[in-house]
Amino acid sequence: MLSKVLAMSCPRGGCTAPGQRILPRRMQATVSHTAAIREASEREEVVREAPSPRGLPLVGTTLSLWLRGSAAQLHRYVDLRHAQLGPVYREAIGPVDAYFVADPLEMRRVFQLEGKHPRNLLPDAWILYNQLYGCKRGLLFMDGEEWLHFRRIMNSIMLKDADTGMEQPCRQVAADLVAEWSQHAHQQVPRLEQALYQWSTEVLVANLVGGDKFAEHSSAIRRLPGLRGLSEQVRQVFCESSKLSLLPARVARAIRLPAWARFERAVDHAVHGASSLVLDLLPFSRGGDGMLERMLAAGVELSDTVRIVADLILAAGDTSAVTMQWVLYLLAKNPDAQERAAQDPQILRGVVKEAMRLYPVAPFLTRILPDESRLAGYTIPGGSLVLLSLYTSGRSAANFPDPSRFWPERWSRENSSGGLLGVNHASASIPFGLGARSCIGRKLADIQLTQLISQLLAGFRIELVEPEKEVDMVLRLVSVPNHPLKLKLVPRK
Ligand code: HEM
């Protein structure tokens, strides 16, 4: 079926660029191929256009994507395109015209070309919402000097020397969740997805007020009206945004699509809920060492603190919660690896990396390149949108031997001076992005995930309630399981 879909949109089963060979198998889309084109083209200094699939008149190739299962399967669709056209190609899908890049060296190069104020593509619906309601938002939505100014401050609070302060609040929130789940041992963990959203929101809140202050006031903070229900509102924003992803937001609004009205309601609740929560947290954070106090001490105005932190709450909710679901799924599917991870913190780290390699929350990183550039020898005009295909690069045999195997040890060193056991190109799996605009929450995410997993594994074996049911990855703005994950915890003693 799939080959028919591709053949329909691309009669030669190949590409349109002159002189470009057809690449029928994934393994042919390798680094050496890219390097050869790059060298030849750089020597000749010629303009080479990246290959692109042939589409039908008017609808382009969007129809192929719809036939493939629509936006939910975009990562697979693009994976097939890479296998067909090579590690760098161009395609217009719906309203988005982009260069797709899956080669790890070329991906690194994109970050070198991104300029002083890197720009990425934001969901159309979110931009329209901000414009309509004059909503000033946090880091993710900022550009230029404003972004750089606040990003530098947040770098020093969240990335430099942040580990020690983050450990304690992450440990406490994880301990509370494990205690709650232990009451349901041997049974299906109730409302797993919601519980993980709640956990990741609480982790951030605990870090905002600081470890000691959270320990002192945790029950009062958990009773705050703004906190109760917020994680559900954040979850709704992502559910509703994903339903609007293939249609221009202005059209959805103009034709009064119910999905647009639901999206507006969800964002209203989440943005206002998060902003009022930040104000409610201020009295608890005073005199502590949490992020809120540190932002105010660094001279960030209260109104800017509120909008930046409100967006951190939105950004933290889905990413960590969804990654944790994949970690739990992979551990439950692989009981041997689970036992090894329970004994060895090094392997536990590998578990998180493997989960993000196989199921990157954001399977496409985006950049708008400021100037004309070259990638794999192809000319990329200034202002072009580039999408880095993490799903493809993370599952390529050229980058990871036996790529579909969940093998946490692949991230261990062969010996003290050697490379990694099962990783040929570490930059083929960059789930937090790279460079100046990479994820600001990556340290926090790393600590919160390892804390929760290590506490769970210390007390329980994680098992699937329906082991025969395969779980697949679908794209709903972020990569989520295609049906709710059902787990149970079995006490070790
Ligand atoms: C496993 C968890 C997470 C993953 C996989 C993840 C992934 C990402 C990715 C891929 C980006 C874009 C990077 C780029 O374009 O180069 C990003 C940006 C961002 N993330 Fe995360 N993230 C996670 C957790 C968090 C958390 C916990 C927070 C907040 C505490 C957060 C806040 C942000 C913000 C604010 C940005 C925008 C940064 C900017 O534009 O300067 N993320 N994240």
Residue 447 Cα to ligand 1 middle (Å): 14
Residue 490 Cα to ligand 1 middle (Å): 33
Q: Specify if 4 maps to a domain.
A: no
- pLDDT at position 155 is 96
Q: Specify if 198 maps to a domain.
A: yes
C-alpha 206/C-alpha 170 separation (Å) is 8
C-alpha 374/C-alpha 22 separation (Å) is 21
Which residues are 473's β-sheet partners? 481
Residue 360 Cα to ligand 1 middle (Å): 12
Residues near ligand 1 (Cβ within 6 A): 120, 139-140, 151, 204, 311-312, 315-316, 319-320, 323, 361-362, 365, 431-433, 437-441, 444-445
Residue 204 CA: nearest ligand 1 atom is 30
Q: Among all chains, which residue has been given the structure tokens 């450990």?
A: 167
CB contact at 8 A, 323 and 331? no
Question: Which structure tokens are listed for 469?
Answer: 């049911």
Closest C-alpha residue for ligand 1 atom 19: 439
Residue 85 Cα to ligand 1 middle (Å): 30
- pLDDT at position 233 is 81
Question: Which structure tokens are listed for 176?
Answer: 């509370």
- At 108, give phi and psi (nearest 5°): -60, -40
Query: pLDDT for 23-59, tens place per residue?
Result: 333 333 444 555 555 565 555 567 799 999 876 544 4
From 432, 448, 452, the mutation candidate for ligand 1 (largest count of ligand atoms within 8 A of CB) is 432
Residue 356 CA: nearest ligand 1 atom is 5
Residue 237 Cα to ligand 1 middle (Å): 16
Strands 385-389 and 378-380: unpaired
CB contact at 8 A, 360 and 445? no
Number of domains in the chain: 1
- At 193, give phi and psi (nearest 5°): -60, -45
Q: Among all chains, which residue has been given the structure tokens 């070259």?
A: 374
Residue 459 Cα to ligand 1 middle (Å): 30
C-alpha 149/C-alpha 195 separation (Å) is 35
Q: Specify if 186 maps to a domain.
A: yes
Q: Specify if 93 maps to a domain.
A: no
CATH code assigned at 471: 1.10.630.10
Q: Specify if 482 maps to a domain.
A: yes
Average pLDDT over residues 111-134: 92
Q: Specify if 47 maps to a domain.
A: no
Whole-number average pLDDT of the chain? 86
Tell me which amino acid residue 484 is: P
Banded model confidence at residue 485, pLDDT cuts 50, 70, 90:
very high
Query: pLDDT for 227-244, tens place per residue?
Result: 877 878 877 887 787 777
Q: Specify if 356 maps to a domain.
A: yes
Is the per-residue pLDDT at 8 higher than 80? no
- pLDDT at position 125 is 87
- pLDDT at position 39 is 60
Average pLDDT over residues 393-411: 97
Q: By C-alpha distance, which of 493, 486, 484, 478 is closest to 74?
A: 478
Query: pLDDT for 285-318, tens place per residue?
Result: 999 999 999 999 999 999 999 999 988 988 888 8
Transcribe 63-109 into DSSP letters: HHHHHTTGGGGHHHHHHHHHHHH-SEEEEEETTEEEEEE--HHHHHH
Burial classification of residue 39, based on how many CB atoms lie within 10 Å of its CB (0-12 exposed, 13-18 middle, 19 or more buried): exposed
Banded model confidence at residue 93, pLDDT cuts 50, 70, 90:
confident
C-alpha 361/C-alpha 323 separation (Å) is 6
How many CB atoms are located within 10 Å of the residue 114 CB?
21
From 439, 443, 451, the mutation candidate for ligand 1 (largest count of ligand atoms within 8 A of CB) is 439
Q: By C-alpha distance, which of 393, 367, 396, 397 is closest to 382?
A: 367
Strands 460-464 and 473-476: unpaired
Is the per-residue pLDDT at 21 higher than 60? no
- pLDDT at position 164 is 67
CB contact at 8 A, 138 and 311? yes
- pLDDT at position 65 is 52
Q: Among all chains, which residue has been given the structure tokens 């202050």?
A: 213
- pLDDT at position 242 is 74
C-alpha 434/C-alpha 345 separation (Å) is 25
Closest C-alpha residue for ligand 1 atom 18: 439
Domain span at 349: 136-362+431-491
Q: By C-alpha distance, which of 204, 189, 435 is closest to 329?
A: 189
Enclosing H/E stretch for 124: helix 124-133
Residue 215 Cα to ligand 1 middle (Å): 26
Which is more confident, 145 or 272? 145
- pLDDT at position 137 is 87
Query: pLDDT for 382-392, tens place per residue?
Result: 999 999 999 99
Q: Specify if 376 maps to a domain.
A: no
